[in-house]
Structure 1
């Protein structure tokens, strides 16, 4: 019988329904929406747009919509479970309640990949735009030796290390300070992207949208997989379950608002960029948005403003995603599946200080020295697998816990979570056989770590708690 922890016990152990449990409730709906935007909008649109356009051409708009549909279907599942189980563990905790400890550990293992690779990749993208900004403002650039890792022709990517260190400093100061910084950066980068659209549409030409789908359905599918990376991070909203003022109401709303807002923005930006200079030109430019503005305005000033917006945008992604990672590790540590250092919360700042600095160090190393292009697909498949598990957890908990309080319920159940699983599996298929093999090896490594350490040190296992005991003893949440 799998080791399953009921939602009521998860909430009770975290203290999410009572005060004085270590973390402080300081985030309202606006902060949660900004936190979600901060986690999503960054490298994917400022740097990765060229990859998506290179695969799909002008049909990248369809790719963004398909990626968004996948996210929306799963966002419904996150919204239901985030409201019903408002704890810091996000999909890890949802899997623990729905499918058991082994699956939960593997989900946490995948989240290390999702958040670790995405933060490191985002930090590398930040370095590219720092050079764009320095070039536009001062006419200088950092030497390759200090702005790229050995795999990209340099020695160390110093800006990538700096942005991760700055995020750590903010995170250990307190969630209120982090939330304020994230909100300010989210508003600024949205303003920059709206301004980009206003400039791009002044040079819009219908002819630049033809041929609309040069690579056909295959190109749209590949573009969808590439575009999906632009949406990674929305699930981080659920990691704020213990620091939101009204998580049962606000977390579902924040998730759905973020996905809708980001999808509209991405489609508008993609159309503006392609309509202004053509799909081939966008696909050839890593920092495409700055290039588009420079071409349209005939000046480098607009491109410099976009570069500044990208620097702010990508920094906010680093901050938000690292926040989510530390909270997931805190939940896993509480359950005894990883060392206890990650669950310790500073009484002065109400943040996991030691865990935050450890995460920062681990994420900074690949950002400083590795070329991450080869593992972006691995990050994508890990995220998709996690999202599929969350949809399965909704199905399992509807059967096992029919009386669980659910402020938000997945519409058109069970069709919606089943479609969510199907879309995730389709995009997993599109990542290709090489990525499947890499992911299989990664999962086997996770199982070995769980067997050697996690299963032996699990508090649920040591306590001898069975699923029926757990459900019987746990206090029922609101």
Structure 2
């Protein structure tokens, strides 16, 4: 049963042609979309989270995470060029290993995209609040700009020790993150308007981000100090791997490019270009920016009991940072919620730091956009296959976008962003991402055996080395995540299995014999989209 109900690649392509989205994106736009999805919270915000876990050793963490993403990108490129339709890892798994595992991958992708969008929304909120404070002298009320106080109170209610750090978080922390809610809902509105419009806005924001990061590197590299890199690995190899597992989030946006394959012109050529080019460009930026931040002001972690680093994003960490600042100490990098702007202010470039804050304020919404873009396209495909209610696959009659699922996703992302810190959201997102990447690597190997003759516009080089490396890397990073993030995946998966066996299995188009082949798909519920002039209607008449 576990490998049953395989949807053939031919059927997938036929379904896409019958119920497809409009192809508007080229290779340059895809690369910009990939950069827009990747460069964002990971480098603007999670730099401090990585420093808290690994200190200067986060340089190695970026390399480890980037390597795992690189081998996964090669697997993605082969499948995306072969199957240029919406759905990403979900679609590929459906074609290779069957409906049940495909459902589990699609369900896990919710953690990657929807929760990931929430994490980026919180990162944007941090920069927006910092920009108001440092640029305009306006103190946005903390009670409505973060949920640190709420999370601290929850921990105390669950029986955690009332440490000074936790009590400080209760004292100064907030209850809800209103700016994060705002940006999540604004991006939802933009995505409903249309893919082409979203891509055009994104291209401008990508240019702003690249300019800001280039300026950061130019100002920080000259003032680097060797002693700021010592000790290089204060938390050892475990800290480096733990940071790599967390900042893996900084890279995951590249696979959102593959979810746009169905809306891409000449996808066999442009999808691999978009995937690999965006990943290479982002990796170079990450290493340069991380080196500049560490060398300029240092990046040693804050330690808790028994010399163990405090968990980044935790209520205890928020309380420790609040105590340090209240005591008159300069805010360390590991405490900053707007890490790169903070670095520039500390080395005497306050106005430039504010400008970088403006760049993040303007550019981070593009990452929210791409995360939600990917999620809505996965949901759209699952609904088109009958695994989710057909209503979710509705396409707006004017904007030609999956507006229903976009609105549902946006509201869910807004709720998560309102209540959870960026670090925890990123770790939860990573657990789903790593599972999806693992399944993609397996799918490449299986398909090489079961369908070796199929045309592959892009072939993964040394596939019997690259794909196993991707699997081992994903598994290694997964077990390096915090325990709560590790547990999120099986718990979330159990909920998904209940939905699948309670609803999706008996409504599946493949299970009902409506697998997308035109002559077998006649009874499938059509999308509520007005037919084009002259196109035949289901009854055979001309529209």
TM-score of the superposed pair, with normalisation by structure 2: 0.82
Q: Which residue of structure 1 lines up, in the alignment, with residue 365 of structure 2?
A: 315
The alpha-carbon deviation at position 369 of structure 1 amounts to 3.2
State which of 204, 228, 251 in structure 2 corresponds to 1:231. Answer: 251
Mapping of residues 205-284 of structure 1, within 5 Å: 205-280=225-300, 281-284=332-335
Q: Which residue of structure 2 lines up, in the alignment, with residue 325 of structure 1?
A: 375
Maintained 8 Å contact 2:132/2:139:
yes
Q: Which residue of structure 2 lines up, in the alignment, with residue 415 of structure 1?
A: 465
Mapping of residues 192-203 of structure 1, within 5 Å: 192-203=212-223
Question: C-alpha separation between the residues in 2 aligned to 1:118 and 1:72?
Answer: 20
Maintained 8 Å contact 1:22/1:347:
no
Q: Which residue of structure 1 lines up, in the alignment, with residue 395 of structure 2?
A: 345
The answer to which of 412-421 and 372-381 deviates more is 372-381
The alpha-carbon deviation at position 189 of structure 1 amounts to 0.4
Q: Which residue of structure 2 lines up, in the alignment, with residue 151 of structure 1?
A: 151
1:464/1:193 CA distance change after superposition, 3 Å: closer
State which of 56, 59, 62 in structure 2 corresponds to 1:58. Answer: 56
Maintained 8 Å contact 1:41/1:313:
no
Larger radius of gyration: 2
Q: Which residue of structure 1 lines up, in the alignment, with residue 109 of structure 2?
A: 111
Maintained 8 Å contact 1:127/1:160:
yes
Where in structure 2 are there 5+ consecutive unaligned residues? 153-172, 301-331, 521-543
Q: Give yes or no for the alignment of 1:385 onto 2:435.
A: yes
Maintained 8 Å contact 1:147/1:158:
yes
Q: Which residue of structure 1 lines up, in the alignment, with residue 13 of structure 2?
A: 11
Question: C-alpha separation between the residues in 2 aligned to 1:291 and 1:195?
Answer: 14
The answer to which of 76-85 and 220-229 deviates more is 220-229
Question: C-alpha separation between the residues in 2 aligned to 1:433 and 1:315?
Answer: 29
Question: C-alpha separation between the residues in 1 aligned to 2:211 and 2:516?
Answer: 52
Maintained 8 Å contact 1:22/1:350:
no
Provide the secondary structure at the position in 2 that maps to 1:411.
coil
The alpha-carbon deviation at position 239 of structure 1 amounts to 0.9
The answer to which of 406-415 and 339-348 deviates more is 339-348
The alpha-carbon deviation at position 22 of structure 1 amounts to 5.0
Mapping of residues 160-179 of structure 1, within 5 Å: 160-179=180-199
Maintained 8 Å contact 1:136/1:301:
no
Maintained 8 Å contact 2:84/2:268:
yes
State which of 55, 70, 73 in structure 2 corresponds to 1:72. Answer: 70
Q: Which residue of structure 1 lines up, in the alignment, with residue 84 of structure 2?
A: 86
Q: Which residue of structure 2 lines up, in the alignment, with residue 476 of structure 1?
A: none
Post-superposition Cα deviations, 1:53-78, rounded to whole Å, max 9, x if no partner, equal 22222221111011011001110011
RMSD: 2.0
TM-score of the superposed pair, with normalisation by structure 1: 0.93
The alpha-carbon deviation at position 124 of structure 1 amounts to 1.2
Q: Which residue of structure 1 lines up, in the alignment, with residue 164 of structure 2?
A: none
Mapping of residues 435-446 of structure 1, within 5 Å: 435-446=485-496
Maintained 8 Å contact 2:133/2:140:
no
Provide the secondary structure at the position in 2 that maps to 1:242.
helix
Provide the secondary structure at the position in 1 that maps to 2:463.
coil
1:326/1:435 CA distance change after superposition, 3 Å: closer
Q: Which residue of structure 1 lines up, in the alignment, with residue 210 of structure 2?
A: 190
Where in structure 1 are there 5+ consecutive unaligned residues? 471-478
Question: C-alpha separation between the residues in 1 aligned to 2:219 and 2:232?
Answer: 22
Higher helix content, 1 or 2: 1
Q: Which residue of structure 1 lines up, in the alignment, with residue 168 of structure 2?
A: none
Post-superposition Cα deviations, 1:289-317, rounded to whole Å, max 9, x if no partner, equal 11111122x24211111111211232111
